[in-house]
């Protein structure tokens, strides 16, 4: 065989290996998002931001370093604004940290996680929106 044939085969093998490496599925990793309002800091951890069922952990702290009272109502909504989709809201009374085990992400693409906190003092609700990219299964 000539040098040209060997060089061509080497390029083809390198291209196949590169495409295989790019297309190889990566291990599932948790994604942690941080945001805040005037009175609260919000941390959301999504166990696996892929299509299907996943777990979502929510931690809320007051900026004045006080834990939340046990009666703090919180609503978490998963919204896909580009497609007009939204999942049913998750409602919970949060005492600083809670975990939702069966959260459904039905489509790949950009989602928004909207967390609404209702202060016990009767003040207006405080809302944060965090972007999340959901990849295919």
Looking at the predicted structure, is the pLDDT value of residue 69 above 60?
no
Query: Which tens digit of pLDDT belongs to each residue from 77-133?
Result: 999 998 888 899 988 877 678 899 999 999 999 999 999 988 877 778 899 999 999
Query: Which tens digit of pLDDT belongs to each residue from 8-63?
Result: 899 999 999 888 877 777 667 899 999 998 888 899 999 989 899 999 999 988 87
CB 94 within 8 A of CB 60: yes
Residue 113 lies in a domain: yes
Q: How far apart are CA 4 and CA 80, in angstroms?
A: 51
Residue 82 lies in a domain: yes
Judged on CB neighbours under 10 Å (0-12, 13-18, 19+), 118 is middle
Q: How far apart are CA 135 and CA 108, in angstroms?
A: 5
Looking at the predicted structure, is the pLDDT value of residue 67 above 60?
no
Residue 2 lies in a domain: no
Residue 3 lies in a domain: no
Q: How far apart are CA 134 and CA 60, in angstroms?
A: 23
pTM (2 d.p.): 0.74
What's the pLDDT at 70?
52
Number of domains in the chain: 1
Query: What CATH number did the domain enclosing 83 receive?
Result: 2.60.40.1930
- Residue positions counted in the chain: 137
Domain that holds residue 83: 31-134
- CA 65, 70, 74, 76 dihedral sign is positive
């Amino acid at each position: 065989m000539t040098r040209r044939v060997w060089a061509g085969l080497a390029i083809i093998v390198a291209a196949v290996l590169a495409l295989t490496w790019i297309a190889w599925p990566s291990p599932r990793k948790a994604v942690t998002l941080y945001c805040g309002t005037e009175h609260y800091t919000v941390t959301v951890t999504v166990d696996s931001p892929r299509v299907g069922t996943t777990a979502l952990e929510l931690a809320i702290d007051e900026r004045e370093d006080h834990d939340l009272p046990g009666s703090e109502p919180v609503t978490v909504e998963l919204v896909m604004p580009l497609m007009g989709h939204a999942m049913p809201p998750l409602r919970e009374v949060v005492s600083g940290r809670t975990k939702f085990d069966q959260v459904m992400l039905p489509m790949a693409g950009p989602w928004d996680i909207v967390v609404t906190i209702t202060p016990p003092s009767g003040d207006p609700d405080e809302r944060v929106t965090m972007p999340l990219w959901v990849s295919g299964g």
